[in-house]
Structure 1
């Protein structure tokens, strides 16, 4: 497995309101924290739209905290002759200069009336931590919009589902799964795909609609390789694998997708709990439990154990333990699709 990312520092409990990036609300000081740029950009754009809807004369300015000229923050937030509202967007707080840090610490204790200052900190470093701690401790009229990294499959599903929920648009569970699988490695592209379906499709979004729009991506996705292999369709699985590799897919996420499905199957296997209760206990979605139970058709304890062992071996090999990662994936697909040890 790849090493866990380094964390800048543990976060203290926050004394200020925590606002969803999907429904941002202005305050004199708005801290937009966390590494997920898609969510941060949405939040900051949402704040601008909110303020502009209240007053079309809104003045919007941008500052860089790492290339900061003394006095800029106070100058841009100070009232103009006609008293228009001001929005100041500050980027790069995670690499801010000493001058900006000192002025920002002073500013948050006495924000200018009619001004909204948005501080963007990606959490990539501990630089600016003193400012973040002061804001979170309530030293000023601040709110925080957290934008944590979207890395896990469940996070991506929740993100995409949230896109459709926010637009009051229904999408079938299998359609959502196909869409997330097609854009599993790029949240920006996934967000764009969701918005395209929302704007283009007048009714509910079915699996057929996703196939029509993004069939080329879906056909070569890691989850398609996993699905066909687990279903025992050996020939189709090899074809899907070769399409995926030919389109530039990396063996590492291919193996990861297969291993993820096998782990889900193992967690669900043998349980007779209702899908809702089992999903709640395992931290899964109802449809994930239903899908895993369907995937288990034709499998037994021995074949599932063999497949999981093969996945562990392939995971090590595609990450450097073998000189031929492509063969490692092909062997894994063979073991899973035939439900027998390699060469048996």
Structure 2
């Protein structure tokens, strides 16, 4: 049987401390932590009952009545875990059925609902809260100090010790995206032995500063020309080739263009092949852009791409000029 129902606290448990309950709501835009919270609940229920049946429902492809059928009493009384994924992109029927279900949840079912943020489905989220769901909030980890704490905890969970300076170096090398940082920790754990040192981090990540190409792109798109050029020059000085730097700029602008086009045409951003956090971030960044400025920036980066691949005589000059053009384009609109 699932644990007894409990009243939610004001803040709720963290992703790594949540326990199974009749209804668990995992919300927030940090997809990695949300996935881990869901996986933790499922794993703990399997520890309690190895025969527990786990069913995952894609809310975007939901059909009316699916939840009630899956959660209906079983002939043999097996315990079940039902995971509703992506409620923020769910159909109207998914939103309605989840709200109805939590008014009278089944005794032998643990329902885990993931909502990746945004306004769609907020009424259903409120209904889950009102029904006493345990709420796990997974927001982006933005501060460097929090990223260092996350990386240290990742290594500790793997029973590995690390020099404090090594953890800081790891964040500097891979700290733009939490998923990339977690993967870097896993790589070090798998490929090294003993205490993790700065030398080990530099061996695998080449002394780069926070996924350099993408950090340059982030600064340029935000209009921070000085920061973008400083990061660019550091990358070039430490041996990064201009080609991947231009590729990072291009990837960033393509994401903005995709999300902007989806918004302008009323399309569902969930169909773009992007993670929810990427869509949310692009929406915020688009506030500093007009379609004309974005088109000009894409053209500038396309020119740089051709030049760094042989059409120009000075690849370093080409990529720096592209960075400045992108940064000046967005800043001019603010």
Taking structure 1 as the reference length, the TM-score comes to 0.59
What is the rounded CA distance, in whole Å, between the counterparts of 1:126 and 1:328 in structure 2?
36
SS in structure 1 of the partner of residue 114 of structure 2: strand
Say if 1:54 and 1:15 are closer, same or farther in 2 by CA, change over 3 A. Answer: closer
What is the rounded CA distance, in whole Å, between the counterparts of 1:210 and 1:239 in structure 2?
16
Kindly name which structure, 1 or 2, has the bigger radius of gyration based on alpha carbons. 1
SS in structure 2 of the partner of residue 99 of structure 1: helix
Instruction: Give the CA deviation at 1:242.
Output: 6.8
Q: Does 1:42 align with 2:33?
A: no
What is the rounded CA distance, in whole Å, between the counterparts of 2:78 and 2:107 in structure 1?
11
RMSD of aligned residue pairs (Cα, Å): 3.5
What is the rounded CA distance, in whole Å, between the counterparts of 1:117 and 1:243 in structure 2?
50
- Asked if the contact 1:33–1:147 (Cα under 8 Å) also holds between the matched residues in 2, the reply is yes
SS in structure 1 of the partner of residue 206 of structure 2: helix
- Asked if the contact 1:251–1:329 (Cα under 8 Å) also holds between the matched residues in 2, the reply is no
Map 1:165-180 → 2, pairs under 5 A: 165-180=156-171
Say if 1:134 and 1:155 are closer, same or farther in 2 by CA, change over 3 A. Answer: same
- Asked if the contact 1:92–1:120 (Cα under 8 Å) also holds between the matched residues in 2, the reply is yes
- Asked if the contact 1:181–1:221 (Cα under 8 Å) also holds between the matched residues in 2, the reply is no
1:132 paired residue number: 125
Instruction: Give the CA deviation at 1:37.
Output: 1.1
Q: How many residues align?
A: 237
- Return the match for 1:65 from 59, 63, 73: 59
Say if 1:241 and 1:165 are closer, same or farther in 2 by CA, change over 3 A. Answer: same
Map 1:248-259 → 2, pairs under 5 A: 248-249=244-245
2:45 paired residue number: 51
1:302 paired residue number: none
Map 1:153-164 → 2, pairs under 5 A: 153-164=144-155
Instruction: Give the CA deviation at 1:327.
Output: 5.6
Map 1:1-344 → 2, pairs under 5 A: 18-123=12-117, 125-137=118-130, 139-140=131-132, 142-215=133-206, 217=208, 221=212, 240-241=236-237, 243-244=239-240, 246=242, 248-249=244-245, 326=320
What is the rounded CA distance, in whole Å, between the counterparts of 1:251 and 1:68 in structure 2?
37
Say if 1:80 and 1:90 are closer, same or farther in 2 by CA, change over 3 A. Answer: same
Say if 1:101 and 1:329 are closer, same or farther in 2 by CA, change over 3 A. Answer: closer
Instruction: Give the CA deviation at 1:157.
Output: 2.1
- Asked if the contact 2:154–2:185 (Cα under 8 Å) also holds between the matched residues in 1, the reply is yes
Gaps of 5+ in 1: 1-13, 226-236, 254-318, 331-344
Say if 1:131 and 1:79 are closer, same or farther in 2 by CA, change over 3 A. Answer: same
SS in structure 2 of the partner of residue 84 of structure 1: coil
Instruction: Give the CA deviation at 1:196.
Output: 2.6
Gaps of 5+ in 2: 1-7, 217-232, 250-295, 301-317, 325-334
What is the rounded CA distance, in whole Å, between the counterparts of 2:9 and 2:209 in structure 1?
44
SS in structure 1 of the partner of residue 102 of structure 2: helix
2:332 paired residue number: none
What is the rounded CA distance, in whole Å, between the counterparts of 1:187 and 1:23 in structure 2?
19
Residue deviations 1:167-224, cap 9 Å, x none? 34321122112211221333222111112323444422111222233337569848xx
What is the rounded CA distance, in whole Å, between the counterparts of 1:179 and 1:249 in structure 2?
20
- Asked if the contact 1:174–1:207 (Cα under 8 Å) also holds between the matched residues in 2, the reply is yes
Residue deviations 1:121-142, cap 9 Å, x none? 110x2111112112223x24x1
Say if 1:159 and 1:106 are closer, same or farther in 2 by CA, change over 3 A. Answer: same
